């Protein structure tokens, strides 16, 4: 997927440091920078060096070669639906928003889910992140407030 100014492509191992910088920008935006314990080395191992990668990432690359956004997805399995593509993160640098990169990254996830036979694409959005909620609402997404997220960190 591309525009005159950027192209969306599958990430490569050479993109790991740029993706990691964007992950930190996203964490800062979400007021959770201290929670990032992942590293570029871990991203490299998990996404590019395993026989079966734990995730697939795509990047939006500006016409000068810089990475301006990314999406990161992985497979989940729903006992009710079957295979589900989970969008862990989608982020575009602030100066490049409203140029279509977020839309192109998200559409890429939708297309990938359909092409691979997934039954659903899911993601989470913070309840205070109105720009993201508005973005996803344009896709006629179901924004479910019924479920409470739980987690255990190790």
3-state helix, strand, coil in the chain (%, to 5): 35, 25, 40
Q: How far is 7 from 10, CA to CA, in rounded Å?
A: 10
Looking at the domain covering 6-137, what would its CATH class be?
alpha beta
Question: 3-class DSSP state for residue 92?
Answer: strand
Count other C-beta atoms under 10 Å from residue 52's C-beta: 4
Q: How far is 93 from 150, CA to CA, in rounded Å?
A: 29
For the chain, the domains span 6-137
Could you give the C-alpha distances from 99 to 5, 10, 91, in angstroms and in order?
Answer: 9, 19, 13
- What does each of the 154 residues of the chain score in pLDDT, given as a tens digit? 556 799 999 999 999 999 999 999 999 999 999 999 999 999 999 999 999 999 999 999 999 999 999 999 999 999 999 999 999 999 999 999 999 999 999 999 999 999 999 999 998 887 777 877 777 777 777 777 777 666 555 5
pLDDT value at residue 151:
59
Could you give the C-alpha distances from 25 to 21, 61, 145, 150, in angstroms and in order?
Answer: 6, 17, 26, 24
Q: How far is 35 from 17, CA to CA, in rounded Å?
A: 18
pLDDT tens digit sequence for 116-140? 999 999 988 877 778 777 777 777 7
pLDDT value at residue 152:
53
Is the whole model's pTM more than 0.85, yes or no? yes
pLDDT value at residue 21:
98
pLDDT value at residue 57:
98
Contact predicate 27/35, CB 8 Å: yes
pLDDT value at residue 150:
67
pLDDT value at residue 154:
54
pLDDT value at residue 141:
77
- What positions carry a catalytic annotation? 136
């Amino acid at each position: 997927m591309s525009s005159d100014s950027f192209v969306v492509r599958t990430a490569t191992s050479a993109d790991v440091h740029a993706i990691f910088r964007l992950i930190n920008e996203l964490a800062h935006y979400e007021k959770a920078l201290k929670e990032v314990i992942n590293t570029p080395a871990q991203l490299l191992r998990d996404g590019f060096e395993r026989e079966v990668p734990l995730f697939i990432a795509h990047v939006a690359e500006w016409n000068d070669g810089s990475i301006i956004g990314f999406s990161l997805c992985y497979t989940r399995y729903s006992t009710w639906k079957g295979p589900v593509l989970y969008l862990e993160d989608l982020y575009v640098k602030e100066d490049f928003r409203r140029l279509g990169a977020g839309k192109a990254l998200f559409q890429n996830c939708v297309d990938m889910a359909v092409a691979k036979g997934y039954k659903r694409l899911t993601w989470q959005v913070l309840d205070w992140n109105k720009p993201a909620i508005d973005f996803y609402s344009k896709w006629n997404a179901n924004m479910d407030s019924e479920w409470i997220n739980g987690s255990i960190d190790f």
